[in-house]
């Protein structure tokens, strides 16, 4: 009955709405609706700051009793399982009724449950008059440990933006080789490393390189960091991220901005650029074209960041 293999549950605050929708377009090819994305793409939910879970659909039915019957017919035998009720948008089921349905579902599965450390988590839920049963994979929050990185500065991008940039640049493909062309204190590199990406970074500022290396070593990441002008790099990458310098400590001008963008465009066919000012002319003159974009306000600050997804022309 169901035409998609997965349901992704999405959550974001108002400041990140545009960023979340950009990430959805770049990874899934469409925006979320009702905080949900139906897709045939299997993605680790922890790759995104906005995806709360991946619901892998096994069975579906137009009514609850029909779903239970299908689960029984599936003859599932497994020890250490757990069943959760996944509340999807528009589901009016009350809490007590949800608990009752969890018990019903559990009785349809042969084996001893484990509510504390399950070997597999099943879920049931309904959306638009269809009931679903499947395997639930939740977003892991271990990346939040990066909040306590040893080196930071106040104008660095937020962790959730950095994590989204990695997903946008890679389109969710963890086989992509990445470059962080202005790595700063390594905020982007940390999120790429914990998600399993092969990433390297460079920065012309020796203090920035030292801070990045300190932060990476603190979490036992081994990604390479080059103290170099990006124009002097010769390696090739699948995709690159540029968070352009913009504050008093990492100043930039039109000439250096153009140099960074043009040089990075020679190293990667896909470049995601972050800037607080308009740089469309630099992008075009660097041999890149903008395929998508958004604006993200920094919570509590009076400036916004523009994000451009660029492809080599």
Quick: pLDDT tens for 98-151.
999 999 999 999 999 999 999 999 999 999 999 999 999 999 999 999 999 999
What digits encode the pLDDT tens for the residues 47-103?
999 999 999 999 999 999 999 999 999 999 999 999 999 999 999 999 999 999 999
Quick: pLDDT tens for 15-42: 899 999 999 999 999 999 999 999 999 9
Give residue 1's pLDDT: 56
**Which tokens go with 57?**
């659909």
Who's near 126: CB < 8 A, 6+ residues apart?
64, 88, 91, 93, 132
Question: Which residues make Cβ contacts (< 8 Å) with residue 213, sequence separation at least 6?
Answer: 186, 225
pLDDT of residue 119: 97
Better pLDDT: 299 or 275: 275
pLDDT of residue 153: 82
pLDDT > 50? residue 260: yes
The beta strand positions in 148-189, using DSSP E, are 177-180
Burial label, 2 (beta-carbon count in 10 A; 0-12, 13-18, 19+): middle
Max intra-chain CA distance, the chain: 68
For the chain, give the mean pLDDT: 94
What share of the chain has pLDDT > 90, as a percent? Answer: 89
Containing H/E element for 9? strand 6-10
Closest CA to 275 of 312, 304, 240: 304
> Is 231 in a helix, a strand, or coil?
helix
Nearest to 126 by CA among 32, 59, 70: 59
* Rounded distance between C-alpha atoms, residue 240 and residue 90, angstroms: 39
| Angstrom distance (rounded) from CA 36 to CA 183 | 33
pLDDT at 233 over 90: yes
Q: Reading across the β-sheet that carries 6-10, which strands appear in turn?
A: 36-39, 6-10, 51-61, 130-138, 120-127, 81-85
Mean pLDDT of 261-266: 97
pLDDT of residue 165: 98
What is the arithmetic mean of pLDDT over 152-178? Answer: 93
* DSSP 8-state code for residue 228: S
The pLDDT value recorded for residue 251 is 47
The C-alpha atoms of residue 166 and residue 146 are separated, in whole angstroms, by: 15
Structure-block tokens of residue 161 = 């933006």
Distance CA 300, CA 137 (A): 33
Least confident segment among 145-159, 175-189, 193-207, 213-227: 145-159
Tokens at 218, concatenated:
């603190």
d(CA 212, CA 188): 10
Q: Would you state the pLDDT for residue 247?
A: 47
pLDDT higher at 298 or 165? 165
Q: Does pLDDT of 248 surpass 70?
A: no
**pLDDT at residue 304 in the model:** 85
Task: Say which DSSP state 250 is in.
Answer: S
Q: What is the mean pLDDT of residues 241-263?
A: 78
* Separation of alpha carbons 283 and 261, rounded Å: 7
Contact between 29 and 40 under an 8 Å Cβ cutoff? The reply is no
Look-up: residue for tokens 């590199």?
A: 189
Among all chains, which residue has been given the structure tokens 């950009």? Answer: 22
Provide the pLDDT for residue 246. Answer: 64
Average pLDDT rounded to a whole number, residues 152-168:
91
Say yes or no to pLDDT of 300 above 60: no
Q: Which domains does the chain have, with CATH numbers?
A: 6-138 (3.30.2130.30), 143-312 (3.40.50.150)
**252, pLDDT greater than 70:** no
Residue 302 has a pLDDT of 55
- In the numeric block, the tokens 């008059």 are attached to 129
């Amino acid at each position: 009955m169901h035409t998609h293999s997965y349901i992704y549950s999405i959550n974001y605050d108002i400041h990140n709405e545009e960023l979340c929708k950009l990430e959805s377009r770049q990874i899934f090819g469409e925006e979320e609706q009702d905080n949900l994305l139906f897709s045939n793409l299997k993605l680790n939910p922890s790759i995104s700051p906005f995806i709360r879970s991946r619901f892998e659909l096994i069975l579906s039915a137009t009514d609850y009793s029909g779903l239970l019957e299908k689960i029984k017919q599936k003859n599932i035998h497994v020890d250490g399982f757990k069943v959760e009720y996944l509340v999807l948008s528009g589901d009016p089921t009350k809490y007590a009724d949800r608990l009752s349905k969890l018990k019903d579902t559990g009785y349809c599965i042969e084996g001893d449950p484990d509510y504390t450390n399950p070997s597999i988590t099943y879920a049931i839920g309904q959306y638009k008059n269809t009931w679903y049963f499947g395997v639930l994979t939740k977003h892991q929050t271990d990346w939040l440990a990066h909040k306590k990185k040893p080196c930071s500065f106040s104008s660095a991008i937020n962790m959730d933006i950095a994590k989204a940039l990695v997903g946008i640049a890679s389109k969710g493909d963890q086989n992509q080789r990445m470059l962080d062309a202005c790595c700063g204190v390594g905020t982007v590199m940390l999120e790429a490393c914990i998600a399993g990406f092969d990433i390297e970074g460079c920065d012309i500022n020796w203090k920035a390189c030292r801070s990045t290396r300190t932060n990476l070593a603190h979490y036992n990441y081994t990604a390479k960091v080059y103290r170099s002008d990006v124009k002097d790099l010769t390696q090739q990458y699948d995709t690159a991220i540029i968070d352009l310098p913009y504050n008093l400590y990492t100043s930039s001008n039109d000439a250096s901005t153009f140099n960074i963008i043009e040089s990075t465009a020679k190293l990667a066919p896909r470049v995601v650029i972050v800037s607080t000012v308009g740089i469309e002319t630099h992008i075009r003159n660097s041999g890149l074209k903008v395929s998508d974009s958004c604006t993200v306000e920094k919570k509590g600050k009076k400036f916004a960041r523009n994000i451009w997804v660029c492809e080599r022309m």
